[in-house]
Structure 1
Amino acid sequence: MSQARTESTILSNGVKMPWLGLGVWKVKDDGEAERSVASAIEAGYRSIDTAAAYNNETGVGAGIRNSGIARDDIFVTTKIWNAHQGYESTLTAFEDSRRKLGLDVVDLLLIHWPVKDKYTETWRALEKLYRDGFVRAIGVSNFQIHHLRDVISTSEFVPMVNQVEYHPLLTQTELHTFAKSSNIQLMAWSPLMQGNLDQSVFAEIGAKYGKSPAQVVLRWDLQNEVVTIPKSVNPVRQQENADIFDFTLTDEEVALISGLNRNQRFGPDPDNFNF
C-alpha cells in the first residue's frame, strides 16, 4: 500500500481527513457493500463515505470491522437524510445510523441536502452531537453559498466540510472560493461525472503520465484541494483510482481541465430538488 493514499487534509477543528475516500452510493447492502469496503481498505483506502439514504450502512460497518485495520485508522462519513431532518428527528436518525454502522463515534456527519425550513434545525442537532462527542466533525452536503451563510449566521460552529457535485464540467468556482475563505473543506461527489470521461484532454494528459482519464480527473481534484470519493465495487478499479499520488499535473494542465467547465450537473440542483 502506498503511504500517499493516507495523505490527509486538516479540517478547521484539527481533525485529519484523508484526501481520498471510497464512495458507496448505489452499492447494495446484500454483501456487496461489505466486500467493496473490505477490498478498498486492502487497497489502502482509509476513508469511507456512506449515507442513511444509501441503505448500506450495515454492510459498510461490517466491512470496516472485518478489515483487520484499527477503527481509529478509518475515517467514516455518513449523512442525515431529508425525511429525517429537524432537531429531534435528526438525533433519532443519527442513532439509527450509528447502530447500523456499529460505531461508537462517527468521524464526519453531514446534512445530505438543504431541506427548506429544516436544515438550520438539523444543523443545531449536529452541533449537539459534536459537542457531546458522538461525531468528530460536522458538515453539510449540496449547500450553496446562501445556505452556508444561513447556517453560519445562526450557529456556534461553521460547517467543517461541504460535499458537493464537483468535476471538470462543474467547477463551482464561487462556491469553492467561499468555502476556502470560510475554512470549509470542499469534498467532491460524482468526481468522475458518472463515467462521462470522453473529453480528449483527459486521454491526452493521461498518455503523458501513463495514467487513465479517471486518474487524471481525480488528480485534478487533489491539486484543487478538494477531497475526492470515487465509487467502485471493482477491486482493480479501486486500485486504479487510488494510484493518483505518484504524478503531478502542471499548472497549465490544471487550468486546461478547469476550462472545460460548463456548469453541467449530472445530479439534482440544490436549489431545485424534490425528494
Structure 2
Amino acid sequence: MAETPDVPTETAALPNGGAMPLLGFGTWQLRGDDAVRATGAALEAGYRHLDTATMYRNEAEVGRALAESGVAREEVFVTTKCPPDRADRALDTLRASLEQLRTDHVDLWLVHWPVGGAGRDVELWQRFVEAQQEGLAREVGVSNYDPALIDEVTDATGVRPAVNQVEWSPLLFDAGTVAAHRERDVVLEGYSTLKGGTLEHPTVVGIAERLGRTPAQVLVRWHVQHGIVVIPKSANPDRIRANADVGGFELSADDVAALDALGG
C-alpha cells in the first residue's frame, strides 16, 4: 500500500450544484474516543466525506474530530440522518445534530428509514424541504426507500430526494435498482458493503489476489466505477487508509461483470 493513500476523486452531482464524493467514511457503531480517533484517521488519510446519524450517538465525536483535524469545514461533505420516530420534531433534531457536529449546516440530511402510515412519509419529507429552504441542509435525501416511495414524496412536494442510501454490495447488485435511481436522477449510496460475506466471497478474493489488492479495496473500487457512493467503516487506522487507497487501479470490464453477476 502506498504511504499516502491514492484516494479516488470522483464525485456524484447533486441537484443544487454540489458534488458528493463517491468515497465516504462510515461511522456506524463507532463511539466515544474510538469515533474521534477513527474519524480523525480518515480525514488524515484523505477522506473528505463523513457519514453519521442521530441514532449513531456519535455526532459530537465526529464534529470534534473534524474541528481538530485542521481540515477546513468547507472541504468536507458531512451527512447525518434523522430517525423517523422523531418525525414530529425533525427540525429540532437537525438543529441538535448541527450543534453536536459544530457546524451551521450539513451537506446532506437523510430520512434514516421510512416512517410508514398514510401520508406520514410525505409529512416528514416536507420538514426536510423546509430545512433545505432554511439553509440547515444543502441537500436532502432518504435511506432505505424504494422507487415508489421516492416518487410519492417527490410528487407531493415537487422536491425529489437527492440521494437514497441503501444496503448494497455485489451480492445485492440489481441493475433494475441502479436504472430506477438514474431515471429519477437520484444518487445511489451503499452501506454495509463490507458485510454479509462479501470480503470472503471467492470471486471477490480471486480478483483481489490477482490484482494485489485487498477484498475491501476491490469492493470500494467496484462502487466507484459504477458511480455509486460507498462509505466503508473501520476503527483500524491501517484499514481506514487501505480502504481509501483505490484511486490507482481499475477493475476490468470482465471483473465488474463478474462482481455484478453475484447479485443474480
TM-score, length basis structure 2: 0.94
In structure 1, which of residues 157, 160, 172 is the aligned counterpart of residue 159 of structure 2? 157
Do the aligned partners of 2:7 and 2:46 also contact (CA within 8 Å) in 1?
Answer: no
In structure 2, which of residues 3, 8, 12 is the aligned counterpart of residue 5 of structure 1? 8
User: What pairs with 1:179-218 in structure 2 (closer than 5 Å)?
Assistant: 179-194=181-196, 196-218=198-220
In structure 1, which of residues 257, 260, 263 is the aligned counterpart of residue 259 of structure 2? 257
Structure 1 residues 14, 128: CA separation in 2 closer, same or farther (over 3 Å shift)?
A: same
Residue 166 of structure 1 deviates from its aligned partner by 0.6
Aligned-partner residue type, residue 45 of structure 1: Y
Structure-2 separation of matches of 1:78 and 1:194? 24
- Secondary structure (helix, strand or coil) at the match of 1:164 reads strand
Residue 13 of structure 1 deviates from its aligned partner by 2.2
Unmatched tracts of structure 1, length 5 or more = 263-275
Structure 1 residues 220, 3: CA separation in 2 closer, same or farther (over 3 Å shift)?
A: closer
Structure-1 separation of matches of 2:14 and 2:161? 10
In structure 2, which of residues 8, 18, 21 is the aligned counterpart of residue 18 of structure 1? 21
Residue 256 of structure 1 deviates from its aligned partner by 0.6
Residue 12 of structure 1 deviates from its aligned partner by 2.5
Residue 172 of structure 1 deviates from its aligned partner by 3.4
Aligned length: 259
Residue 26 of structure 1 deviates from its aligned partner by 0.6
Structure-1 separation of matches of 2:196 and 2:30? 14
In structure 1, which of residues 148, 166, 169 is the aligned counterpart of residue 150 of structure 2? 148
Structure-2 separation of matches of 1:152 and 1:143? 12
Q: Which residue of 2 aligns with 1:232?
A: 234
Q: Which residue of 2 aligns with 1:99?
A: 99
Alpha-carbon displacement from aligned partner over 1:160-197 (angstroms, at most 9, x marks no partner): 10000010111133222111011100000111125642
- Secondary structure (helix, strand or coil) at the match of 1:60 reads helix
Aligned-partner residue type, residue 221 of structure 2: R
Aligned-partner residue type, residue 100 of structure 2: K
- Secondary structure (helix, strand or coil) at the match of 1:211 reads coil
Alpha-carbon displacement from aligned partner over 1:8-53 (angstroms, at most 9, x marks no partner): 221122101111010000111x211111110100000000000000
TM-score, length basis structure 1: 0.90
Do the aligned partners of 1:6 and 1:46 also contact (CA within 8 Å) in 2?
Answer: no
Alpha-carbon displacement from aligned partner over 1:231-253 (angstroms, at most 9, x marks no partner): 00111000110011111111111
Alpha-carbon displacement from aligned partner over 1:176-235 (angstroms, at most 9, x marks no partner): 211101110000011112564211111211122210111111111111110000000111
Structure-2 separation of matches of 1:116 and 1:183? 24
Q: More displaced, 169-178 or 242-251?
A: 169-178
Alpha-carbon displacement from aligned partner over 1:74-114 (angstroms, at most 9, x marks no partner): 1100000121014xx11111111111111101110000001
- Secondary structure (helix, strand or coil) at the match of 2:69 reads coil
- Secondary structure (helix, strand or coil) at the match of 1:114 reads coil
Structure-1 separation of matches of 2:219 and 2:8? 16
Higher relative contact order (CA 8 A, sep 6+): 2
